[in-house]
Amino acid sequence: MNTILEMRGITKTFPGVKALSDVNLTVGEGEIHALVGENGAGKSTLMKVLSGVYPYGTYEGDIVYNGETQKFATISDSEEKGIIIIHQELALVPLLSIAENIFLGNERATKGVINWPVAHSEAEMLLKIVGLDKPTGTLVTNLGTGQQQLVEIAKALSKEVKLLILDEPTSSLNERDSEALLQLLLEFKSKGISSILISHKLNEVVKVADKITVLRDGQTVSTLDCDKTEEMENKIIKDMVGRELTNRFPQRTPEIGNMLLEVKGWNVYHQVHADRHLIRDVNFNVRAGEIVGISGLMGAGRTELAMSLFGRAYGQKISGQVELRGEPIDVSTINKAVANGLAYVTEDRKEYGLVLENSIKINTTLSNLEGVSKGIVIDDNAETRVGLEYKKKLNTKCSSLMQQVVNLSGGNQQKVVLSKWLFANPDVLILDEPTRGIDVNAKYEIYAIINQLAQEGKGIIFISSELPELLGMTDRIYVMNEGRMVGEMPTKEASQEKIMRMIIKDKG
């Protein structure tokens, strides 16, 4: 196999930090090369060096592409050579159409006048390749995340891509869309397009990759030939964390107590479209000391269910009953929900969970300011005490309590969100994708915190798209599909296949 790309001895330093140190990466033509490593291992930095975000001269080492040493000064230089990067956060303009997005900055135009018929017919061809069956005039905002991802790929294809770089392409896709995307990569491979796949989802990596390069602390640890076996995953993890992870989930002996929270006949309609019945007659419960999982595909209504329960933060025409320890409680506003012992850790911590520009201390006390105040006066010292207490309890790594949370890693940000809710002292915590985008070690810590909370007698509702996580952490699993609870089972009896079958059977 010919080599299309060779990065040799790449070293990149930022003031005070060596982000990459003598990294080597070799990608063959028509190869799917996975790049894995914990957050902060240097994957994104390496790709930024490759794509010209960090121009030639700001790093040491050589990039040999198609047999020539490249000196990219900007992203357009690398794009010209057929290196296209698709970022984790999609770069589409929501209120423009699919065709407009595909050719944005690369318009099908003569002398500045766009030829729309040509643009639309070319866009149609590209959509056919990526398998998206939508009119090219559809606004991007009306597409689901998976479909938007496909538009991004179509956009890349419009530029005659030779090396496609995908940064966490499936992190916000459901299983079906992820599967379709991976299939697409294999198709590209057969057409001779090479890909670099950055992903945290090792099962996917193992499924499609030919080779896997593991980065750790800015260094290449190993490049493995992927043999697509189960063993592979463990090998990768071992290289990623630098030790054997005997157990991905901390041990816990469940001590399940009395009924804590019971939701009966819960119905929710869409926030904007009042005729869309999103949650239908949902019943579920959680006991003290119990961790209950809610599984389901993206769009099953899990987040909508959680947010509607939490002070009607989502939806309209909400009906149903919520009981805490057998007594009906009022959760009609967020304040009442909090006062009645509920807490909701949101799916998107940056957007909904934290005031990013504020310090750890200020974020920690936000939902229970009364707890550090006399009347309306905040006691600064009490607040510091609380901040320190939770920083210690959750092992949040930071330079000081006054550090802005925007500068923390994903795992530590999540610990701040948890601190905030723990200080509000709830009975029931609803955790919505609590480990999304968090690296392996931090995940383990978050799991340990969750176990600890259950041990203290709190009820935990654990929403996750990663089935292994639910199987490893919970006592009982609900299966949700299209706004209804379609199954419930003790985790001991559950398996990935069983849950997926329940969802599929519900569809048929």
Partner 1 sequence: MSQVENPSPANSDAGETVSVASYLKSNVREYGLLIALIAVMIFFQVVTNGILMKPLNLTNLILQNSYIVIMAIGMLLIIVAGHIDLSVGSVMGFIGALAAVMIVNYEINYVVTIIVCLIVGTAIGALQGFWVAYYKIPAFIVTLAGMLSFRGLTLALLNGQSIGPFPTGFQKLSSGFIPDLFGVGRPHMLTVVLGIVLSVFLIYSAWKDRKERAKFGNLEEPFAFFVLKNLLIVFAINYLSYVMAGYRGYPNVLIVIAVLVAAYGFLTSSSTVGRRIYALGGNVKAAKLSGVNTERLTFLTFANMGLLAAFAGMVFAARLNTATPKAGYGYELDVIAAVFIGGASTTGGVGTVTGAIIGAFLMGVMNNGMSILSIGIDWQQVIKGVVLLAAVIFDVYNKKKAG
Applying CB under 8 A, which residues contact partner 1?
Answer: 310-311, 313, 334-335, 337-338, 344, 346, 351-358, 362, 366-367, 369-370, 373, 376-378, 380-381, 384-385, 387-388, 400-402, 406-407, 420, 424
d(Cα 369, Cα 61) in Å, to the nearest integer?
Answer: 52
Q: Is 45 exposed, middle or buried (0-12, 13-18, 19+ CB in 10 A)?
A: buried
Q: Cβ of residue 185: shortest distance to partner 1, in angstroms?
A: 34
Contact of 205 with 236, CB cutoff 8 Å: yes
Q: Cβ of residue 341: shortest distance to partner 1, in angstroms?
A: 12
Pick 30 or 410: Cβ nearer partner 1: 410
Q: Cβ of residue 324: shortest distance to partner 1, in angstroms?
A: 17
d(Cα 79, Cα 440) in Å, to the nearest integer?
Answer: 33
Pick 73 or 406: Cβ nearer partner 1: 406
Pick 80 or 380: Cβ nearer partner 1: 380
Tell me the CA distances in angstroms from 92 to 103, 145, 264, 394, one per residue in order: 11, 11, 40, 37
Beta-carbon count within 10 A of 110 CB: 9
Segment (H or E) for 490: strand 484-490
The CA-CA-CA angle for residues 20, 26, 31, to 5°, reads 130
Pick 246 or 399: Cβ nearer partner 1: 399
Pairing verdict, β 219-225 and 60-65: unpaired
Q: Cβ of residue 378: shortest distance to partner 1, in angstroms?
A: 5
Contact of 344 with 354, CB cutoff 8 Å: no
For the chain, what is the largest distance between any 2 Cα atoms, rounded to a whole number of angstroms?
73
Q: Cβ of residue 455: shortest distance to partner 1, in angstroms?
A: 25
Q: Cβ of residue 307: shortest distance to partner 1, in angstroms?
A: 8
Q: Cβ of residue 369: shortest distance to partner 1, in angstroms?
A: 4
Q: What's the token pair of residue 275?
A: 């005729």
Q: What's the token pair of residue 180?
A: 């379709």
Pick 307 or 486: Cβ nearer partner 1: 307
Distance of CA 209 to the CA centre of its chain: 20
Q: Cβ of residue 365: shortest distance to partner 1, in angstroms?
A: 8
Pick 185 or 398: Cβ nearer partner 1: 398
Q: Cβ of residue 169: shortest distance to partner 1, in angstroms?
A: 26
Contact of 419 with 391, CB cutoff 8 Å: yes
Pick 186 or 355: Cβ nearer partner 1: 355
Three state DSSP letters for 428-444: EEEEECCCCCCCHHHHH
Pick 88 or 335: Cβ nearer partner 1: 335
Pick 198 or 424: Cβ nearer partner 1: 424
Residue entry with tokens 């001269």: 57
Q: What's the token pair of residue 341?
A: 């012992």
Tell me the CA distances in angstroms from 255 to 77, 394, 457, 460, one per residue in order: 60, 22, 8, 13
